[in-house]
Amino acid sequence: MPNKLENRSILLGSRRVDYVLERKRVKNLNLRVRPDGSLYVSCSARVPQRRIDEFLRAEEGRILAALARRESAEKRRPVPENCAEGERVSVWGRLVTLRVREGRRDVRLAGDELWLTLPHPDDEAARRRLLDSFQRESCREKLTALCEALYPAFAARGVAWPELRFRRMTSRWGSCLARGGVVTFNVSLCELPESCAVYVAAHELTHFLQPNHSAAFYAELARVLPDWAERRALLRQWE
């Protein structure tokens, strides 16, 4: 007979933890934390549930620490290895699952899924290009709207509407060329919570008033964005 899999749960500390129990021909109770953060327990059919509960409670520290590490990692921006079916990507701070299918080239966000539709879905390079085009357009739309919302405060100070550019950047979220009237945003901002993007937009626009990061700069920034420090702290967490 095939081994039986059961979905179980146990209260560890103040947290209800789910796990999968498999009864099979093994001598010991075994615990494994899978890569996706789920818990797997295997044991003999003769082991009573009471013994399993005792075993898991004895491993409480290890289990909760492993879950905490997993959850902490999920808060960071996941980087899809192959842009393949089932991989995760962050869209404005929300983790979504990539879905890949065959069809006319298109990309669409539906709930917690980002659908990549391509004539040749097995083409990794094509999947990467499609995801990149989605991120660039999403960043362009969002940051343009955010700058338009912030701009009246700068227009009142005589700042002309800047040219907005978007590209991949390795060490900055944004940059401002005050003399040229250009603000450049990192396309990867589309992976962060919108609150972070608001901070970056306000930060770069403030450079039209103060070119450096002096106390005067942050005083100007606070006039436009009073909670800038909290937003910057969140941005650093996502970095």
Residue that the structure tokens 């069809």 belong to: 103
**What integer pLDDT is reported at residue 63 of this predicted model?**
86
Which own/partner pairs from 28-32 qualify as long-range (CB within 8 Å, at least 24 positions apart)?
29/55, 31/55, 31/56, 31/59, 31/62, 31/63
The rounded percent of the chain whose pLDDT value lies above 90 is 74
pTM (two decimals):
0.68
Q: Nearest-5° angle of CA 91, CA 152, CA 191?
A: 10
Is residue 67 a contact partner of residue 20, using CB atoms and an 8 Å limit?
no
Minimal CA–CA distance to 90: which of 143, 34, 138, 38? 138
Q: Quick one: average pLDDT of 149-168?
A: 97
Q: How many CB atoms lie within 10 A of CB 172?
A: 11
Q: How far is CA 194 from the centre of its chain?
A: 11
Which domains are delineated in the chain? 4-74 (no CATH), 88-131 (no CATH), 135-238 (3.30.2010.10)
pLDDT tens, 28-85? 999 987 766 678 999 999 999 999 999 999 988 888 887 777 666 555 666 788 899 9
**What integer pLDDT is reported at residue 25 of this predicted model?**
87
Question: For residues 199 and 114, what is the distance between their CA atoms, to the nearest angstrom?
Answer: 26
